[in-house]
A = this chain, B = another copy of it.
Amino acid sequence: MLNLKHLPINSFNENIAYLHKDCTAYRVDDIKSLSKIEIHGGVKPVYAFLQIVDDDKLVRPNELALNTEAFKLINLPEGANVTLTMSPPPPSLNSIKRKIAGNILSSGEYSAIVNDIASKRYTNMDIASFLVSAGSFMTAPEVLAFTEALVGDNIIRWDNENIVVDHHCLGGIPGNKTDIIIMAIVAAYGLPMPKTASRSLTSCAGVADTMSVLANVDMDENKFRKVVGDCRGAIACYNALSIAEANKIISAVERYIGITQHQYIVSSILAIKLAAGVTHLVIDIPVGPKSRIKTTNDAMRLRKLIEYVGDMLSVEVDAVITDGSEPIGNGIGAVLEARDVMKVLRNKDDAPQDLREKSLFLAGRVLEFDPKLRGGQGYYVAKELLNSGRALEAMNKIIHAQGKAPQPQLGHLTRDVVATAAGVVESIDNERINKIGVLAGASKYQGAGLDLLKKVGDKVEQGETLYRLHSVNSTDFAFANSVVDGYTGYEISGRSVY
Binding site for B on A (CB under 8 A): 7-13, 18, 21, 27, 30, 32-34, 51-55, 57-58, 67-68, 89, 93, 96-97, 100-102, 123-129, 131-133, 135-136, 199, 201, 252-253, 255-259, 261, 444
Contacts and interface: CB of A to CB of B under 8 A. Distances in A.
Contacts of A261: 100
Contacts of A129: 128-129, 131-132, 257
Nearest to A133: B132
A11 B54 CA distance: 12
A256 B8 contact: no
A10 B133 CA distance: 29
A334 to B, nearest CB: 14
Nearest to A93: B258
A86 to B, nearest CB: 11
Contacts of A12: 33-34, 51
A91 B51 CA distance: 29
Contact of A253 (B34, B259, B444): B34
Contacts of A101: 136
Contacts of A89: 258
8 contacts: A7-B55, A10-B53, A51-B67, A100-B136, A100-B259, A128-B129, A129-B129, A132-B133
A54 B10 contact: yes
A161 B199 CA distance: 63
A58 B136 contact: no
A87 to B, nearest CB: 12
Q: List 10 tightest A-B contacts by C-beta distance, closest first.
A: A8-B54, A132-B132, A10-B52, A34-B256, A30-B444, A125-B128, A100-B135, A8-B55, A129-B132, A128-B128
A33 B255 contact: yes
A128 B132 contact: yes
Contacts of A255: 33-34
Nearest to A13: B34
A57 B54 contact: no
Contacts of A252: 33-34
A128 B125 CA distance: 6
A145 to B, nearest CB: 20
Contacts of A67: 51
Given A8-B53, A89-B258, A129-B132, 19 more contacts: A9-B51, A10-B51, A11-B51, A33-B201, A33-B256, A34-B252, A54-B68, A96-B132, A97-B259, A100-B136, A102-B136, A123-B124, A124-B125, A125-B127, A125-B253, A128-B128, A129-B129, A129-B257, A133-B135
